[in-house]
Structure 1
Amino acid sequence: MPVFTPEYLHKVAYHIYRAKGTPEDESEIVARHLVKANLAGHDSHGIIQTPTYVERIDVGHIVPGASFEVVKEAPCTAVINGNWGFGFVVTEKATRMAIEKARTNGVAAITVHHQSHIGRLGDYPTMMAAEGMIGMITADSGAAPKHVAPFGGIARKLGTNPICIGMPSNLDGPVLMDMASSTVALGKIALARSRKEEIPVGWIVDKDGNPTTDPNDYYSGGAILPVGVDQGHKGYALSFMVEVFSGLLTGLGFGIDPEGRHNDGVFIAAFNL
């Protein structure tokens, strides 16, 4: 397997996005988040995402340089329309807004809709923790194609619906919980498939609902399972609540549109300590 330095990967990613018409500052932000995911050990959310993002730019599902639109705003809250911009760019800016509101008022809550994939959630509560705050973020894909079967089912009805909470600590880094409400993020299935590796039992079922260790079975009509395996009703409940915060509360919507563009609806909360 080839090995590249982080600096090389950052440079390659930056120039790929610049070549696709992405502004300099946005190309820098996207490249930084992708390489950081690799360095954190989450290759599923790293540079491997670049071909997908390039394809989404080509079909208009990602709009480089899109405007950051504040639809509604109050001292402690805001509603943001990302106008289909890069999720890294939109959510990073929304997180900074939450930090400033919480610094002034003690707490802040912000929702974001109409933006692309925001990547590894841990990046955003880490920003809040660095400012002495507890940070929380949830994400959902709206009506875009789904990946996860509800507890007891086999059809894809839910997103992987992740949640992340971070807080400062007296250790070398913040305390951070970053998890999907499914057994695994979709990117890890794709990563195993590209590496021609088997996956653990309990991650997915095939199209007939049978447990399988072959990641290709997911792409043949299978589904990811809720976190918890035999206690998957707990993961299903958590996924449902994340969808309420990130889909309904944001105004993004819910349901399944097989032709819908990927769209991370996001709820952000900051608590100043």
Structure 2
Amino acid sequence: MPIVQADRLTHIGAALLRAAGASKDEADAVAVGCINANLAGHDSHGIIAIPTYIDRIKVGHIVPGEKWTIVQESPATTVIDGHWGFGFYVNAKAMQLTIEKAKKTNVAACTVFRQSHVGRLAAYPLMAAKAGMIGIATADSGRSTKVVAPFGGREARLGTNPISIAVPSDLDGPIYLDMATSAVAAGKVALAAARGEDIPKGWVVGKDGKLTTDPKQLRQGGALLPLGGTEGYKGSGLAAMVEILCGLLTGLGFGVEPTGRHNDGTFMAVFNVEAFRPLKDFKKEVAEFARYLNATPPSEGSTGVLYPGEIEHRTEQERRKSGIGVEDDTWNKLRKLAADYNLAAELDLK
């Protein structure tokens, strides 16, 4: 498994995306978003996704250079049509617009439809947190192929439907939640398959409805289970609410469209902390609360309590120093793309 520094991996991803037709701004947005996921330890949303995005460009599912448009808006709300552009690029623009509106209206929200995969969802609420606001984002995959079975079922009828919330604080690293409403993100199962690893029992059911540790069964008619194990109705309920916010409120609908075109719908909201209490006081107390959680005596077998987002912050610090491991399967795909685009020598992919 090659170990690659983040800057170099970002350059490789951006160069391949530009060769596939993305503009510099689009390619940079996607590459930075992917490598930031790697840095945080979420390799399922990292450089491994670049070959898939390029495949989607080739078949017309992602349209580089397409301009997003505002379909409907008010002082505090916006509805955005991404026109099949890169989700990383469109969603970041949508969140920035929502932040600007929240500066004036204190609370603002937006929906985005007809865009490609948005990557690690936390990237967008973290933008709000950096602006001194609370950010919330949810996402679903529209009417593209589903991968999660509702609680009690064995057929996939939901997406992984993630939820992310980020808040400003005085901590060295950000405090935020970023979670799938399924037992695990589908990308983590794909990552295990690429690495030839088994998955924990409780992540996937095969098409026969039986639990499996073989990640390949997900793509052979199986389904992810909802978050919660024996209490999976909680994850299933959360997923249904996300589907309503991101599929029905956006107009994408539910179920599966036979063409299978990936179409991330998102709902995002921003809350201006200053409308509720002084930002300085809030940030200070959030940091104190996080340290209060950290000070909890550990249970048997535990190394201690971490606040939400702390493990990602620690992982990023380590990976910026030591580099990012790229599984051989993904590295070989990057090498082939570089050769196809006559970039092998420039990118030095050995």
TM-score class, shorter-chain normalisation, is over 0.9
Distance 2:63 2:257 in 1: 20
Residue 175 of structure 1 is matched in structure 2 by 175
User: What amino acid maps onto 2:94 in structure 1?
Assistant: A
Residue 281 of structure 2 is matched in structure 1 by none
Distance 1:7 1:171 in 2: 25
Residue 49 of structure 1 is matched in structure 2 by 49
Residue 173 of structure 1 and its aligned partner are, at CA, apart by: 2.4
Considering fraction of residues, name the structure with more helix. Answer: 2
Q: 1:5-16 counterparts in 2 under 5 A?
A: 5-16=5-16
Residue 251 of structure 1 and its aligned partner are, at CA, apart by: 1.3
Which of 136-145 and 248-257 deviates more? 248-257
Residue 145 of structure 2 is matched in structure 1 by 145
Normalising by structure 2, we get a TM-score of: 0.77
Residue 238 of structure 1 is matched in structure 2 by 238
Distance 2:211 2:260 in 1: 28
Distance 2:156 2:84 in 1: 24
Distance 1:219 1:77 in 2: 38
Residue 74 of structure 1 is matched in structure 2 by 74
Residue 115 of structure 1 and its aligned partner are, at CA, apart by: 0.1
Distance 2:258 2:227 in 1: 24
Residue 86 of structure 2 is matched in structure 1 by 86
Larger radius of gyration: 2
Residue 7 of structure 1 and its aligned partner are, at CA, apart by: 1.3
Residue 172 of structure 1 and its aligned partner are, at CA, apart by: 1.2
Q: 1:123-142 counterparts in 2 under 5 A?
A: 123-142=123-142
Root mean square deviation of aligned Cα: 0.7
- Is structure 2 residue 182 aligned with structure 1 residue 196? no
CA-to-partner distance for each residue in 1:62-117, whole Å, 9 max, x for gaps?
A: 01111110001110000000000000000000000010000111010100000000
User: What amino acid maps onto 1:2 in structure 2?
Assistant: P
Structure 1 vs Structure 2: percent identity of aligned residues?
Answer: 57
Distance 1:27 1:144 in 2: 24
Distance 2:267 2:113 in 1: 9
User: What amino acid maps onto 2:88 in structure 1?
Assistant: F
Residue 250 of structure 1 and its aligned partner are, at CA, apart by: 1.1
SS at match of 1:26: helix
Residue 170 of structure 1 and its aligned partner are, at CA, apart by: 2.2
Residue 254 of structure 1 and its aligned partner are, at CA, apart by: 1.2
SS at match of 1:125: helix
Gaps of 5+ in 1: none
CA-to-partner distance for each residue in 1:3-24, whole Å, 9 max, x for gaps?
A: 1111111111111011111111
SS at match of 2:112: strand
User: What amino acid maps onto 2:71 in structure 1?
Assistant: V
- Is structure 2 residue 249 aligned with structure 1 residue 249? yes
